[in-house]
Structure 1
Amino acid sequence: MTVGEVMSKDPVSIREDDYMTHARQVIRDNFLRVLPVVDEGNRVLGVLSDQDVLNIRSSKSNVTVRGYIRETPLITPDMDLLRAARELLDAKQHHAPVVSSSLDRSIVGILSDVDLLRHIQPTKRSPASVEEIMTAKVETAYPDDSISRIWDNMLHWDYTGIPVVSHKKEPMGIVTRIDIIKAGYARIGTANMHGRSSGGSMRVEKVMSTPLYSVAPESSISEAIGEILRNDIGRISVTDGGRLVGIADRHDLLRACLEGTGL
């Protein structure tokens, strides 16, 4: 199967001379992690990371996109999905623009790790369980943590979501960048994020999503992928006896699927 068969067409993009404040609004409005940057001929120059864009604090700025462009892998519609998956993983990107050809960099679509996980299956050499690929050291939040602190941590660590646990370490839910943006609190530098309410800033419990979707440590890679796709989430928590013991994101699972493919 090729990239052209699974990619999304008509991707949102931005010009290199646009202001970063405009790019921030585009990313917020469309809940994007990566925003392709094109020239006047609609040719891909690179991408903007949401981490770079959302870190901008000012509501008004004449800083343009040009100075923040990141390199992106060359992915074309005729590329095999396994090769495209390796390119995405090596670039540490969750989305990448698809260009017409190696000679014509006109943007024709965008490929995501979700597109790949829908069509790539684990191999016989893939790890047998989620426990083998999960990250055991998990950063968590408490329901009474301030949203402003969690938002800053997300951008600093480049996390899209952080599990929420009680002070007894019981899993409760998850707070994601999209949760914060949808709730209207991600207006950096304004009262919406740091505004006072009931003696303190807004709390995580006001915006977190529940339940915390999870699998057991012995669950297969396929089971974990199924949960991620079914619930449209970026990562799956791993729980054992009501205790959070790990987390696996889409890249962890995609990497597991490439085991034994030679890529």
Structure 2
Amino acid sequence: MVWVISIPVGKVKAENILKKFPYLLPYDKASHARELIREYKIRVLAVANSPNNPKIVGLIKRVNILNISSTKSNLQVNDIMEQPIAIIREDDEVDVILNALLKNNEWYGIVTNSSGEYKGIVGLEDVINYYYKNEPEIFNVEASVLSKKLEYLYEDDEISKAWYKMLEHDYAGFPVVKRDLKVVGSLTQHDLISKGYTRIQLESQTSPRKILVKEAMNVPPICIKQSDKVTNAVDEMVNKNVGRVFIIDDDGKIKGIIDRSDIARLIFEKKIKS
């Protein structure tokens, strides 16, 4: 179930829309971070200094987890954590949240109180969900206008190619197509983590048994038509809790991609920048 908050526009704050995901401690095992990211289907988790009055000292991203090889099972969180870029105060309003996330090219920000204590995580989807409920007219534009540069994977590509492509483009997911470009699935970092792949498997191009994209992809793909509005894309994102939708033609062939960052930039252009 997706919870959508209804609060007067301009009054919603991070504390109203954040999610209280658990946080990690620096000495937690990296395997525990993997378990939590897989369980909560989240891109990032906060790392705090202590269970008491936890103050933020870092964060763990999905890509940090996927970079661990199976031979390094003794790693701790402080071995792989990064410094957080987007720190959101719990009393920051929605325009400040959106601006901070877009400015830092992040989908999620760590929320703290004025003392720097951890309060939760807020993401682009939380901002999108809010506007979806309160100002849906924002999304009444042609979906094709937002479509970004088209990148995709073939179903018979090796999983190692998918991994390198994620790193090259800094994308968390791609559509998966047949050779005729008909969309048959999607592959995301979450799919790789949920299926237990490690860095060695993702990077191996010499393994006796090749792992193909179609073995790891998620089906069915979430698609809209070229004639649809952005509203249709947001409907799918909100109701199915997905980060991207694919634009297809009448033959089911890939024509474009819209993700949460595209929707967030549309909101920024229409409601905040203006």
For residue 16 of structure 1, what is the aligned residue in structure 2? 26
Contact 2:153-2:177 at 8 Å conserved across structures: yes
The alpha-carbon distance between structure 1 residues 124 and 144, as it changes in their structure 2 partners (threshold 3 A), is closer
Mean Cα displacement is larger for which, 63-72 or 202-211?
Answer: 63-72
Mean Cα displacement is larger for which, 152-161 or 222-231?
Answer: 152-161
Contact 2:29-2:75 at 8 Å conserved across structures: yes
Does residue 113 of structure 2 align to residue 100 of structure 1?
yes
Of 231, 248, 265, which aligns to 1:255?
Answer: 265
Q: SS at the partner of 1:256?
A: helix
For residue 78 of structure 2, what is the aligned residue in structure 1? 65
Q: In the aligned structure 1, how far is the partner of 2:243 from the partner of 2:158? A: 22
Give the AA of the match of 1:209: N
For residue 36 of structure 1, what is the aligned residue in structure 2? 46
Per-residue CA deviation, residues 126-171 of structure 1 (Å, 9 max, x unaligned), is 7822211211x32211222222332343244332221111111111
Q: 5 Å matches for 1:176-215?
A: 176-184=188-196, 186-189=197-200, 200-215=209-224
Q: SS at the partner of 1:16?
A: coil
Q: 5 Å matches for 1:163-178?
A: 163-178=175-190
Contact 1:37-1:69 at 8 Å conserved across structures: no
Q: Give aligned pairs, total.
A: 256
CA apart distance, 1:248 = 0.9
Q: In the aligned structure 1, how far is the partner of 2:180 from the partner of 2:100? A: 41
Q: In the aligned structure 2, how far is the partner of 1:183 from the partner of 1:73? A: 29
Does residue 158 of structure 2 align to residue 149 of structure 1?
no
CA apart distance, 1:47 = 2.2
Per-residue CA deviation, residues 42-92 of structure 1 (Å, 9 max, x unaligned), is 111232322233213242355762674223323122221122111111122
Contact 2:144-2:226 at 8 Å conserved across structures: yes
**TM-score under structure 2 length normalisation:** 0.80
Contact 1:123-1:260 at 8 Å conserved across structures: no
Contact 1:123-1:257 at 8 Å conserved across structures: no
**TM-score under structure 1 length normalisation:** 0.83
Contact 1:146-1:204 at 8 Å conserved across structures: yes
For residue 249 of structure 2, what is the aligned residue in structure 1? 240
Q: In the aligned structure 2, how far is the partner of 1:218 from the partner of 1:201? A: 39
For residue 226 of structure 1, what is the aligned residue in structure 2? 235
Q: In the aligned structure 2, how far is the partner of 1:128 from the partner of 1:195? A: 47
Q: 5 Å matches for 1:97-136?
A: 97-101=110-114, 104-121=115-132, 128-135=141-148
Q: In the aligned structure 2, how far is the partner of 1:245 from the partner of 1:227? A: 17
Q: SS at the partner of 1:115?
A: helix
Give the AA of the match of 2:113: S
Q: In the aligned structure 2, how far is the partner of 1:206 from the partner of 1:53? A: 20
Does residue 170 of structure 2 align to residue 158 of structure 1?
yes
Q: In the aligned structure 1, how far is the partner of 2:185 from the partner of 2:77? A: 37
CA apart distance, 1:20 = 4.7
Q: In the aligned structure 2, how far is the partner of 1:209 from the partner of 1:190? A: 18
Does residue 65 of structure 2 align to residue 50 of structure 1?
no
The alpha-carbon distance between structure 1 residues 12 and 125, as it changes in their structure 2 partners (threshold 3 A), is closer
Contact 1:2-1:77 at 8 Å conserved across structures: yes
The alpha-carbon distance between structure 1 residues 224 and 125, as it changes in their structure 2 partners (threshold 3 A), is closer
Q: In the aligned structure 1, how far is the partner of 2:93 from the partner of 2:46? A: 21
Unaligned runs of 5+ residues in structure 1 are: none
Q: In the aligned structure 2, how far is the partner of 1:124 from the partner of 1:31? A: 29
Mean Cα displacement is larger for which, 215-224 or 225-234?
Answer: 215-224
Does residue 91 of structure 2 align to residue 78 of structure 1?
yes
Percent of residue pairs identical? 24
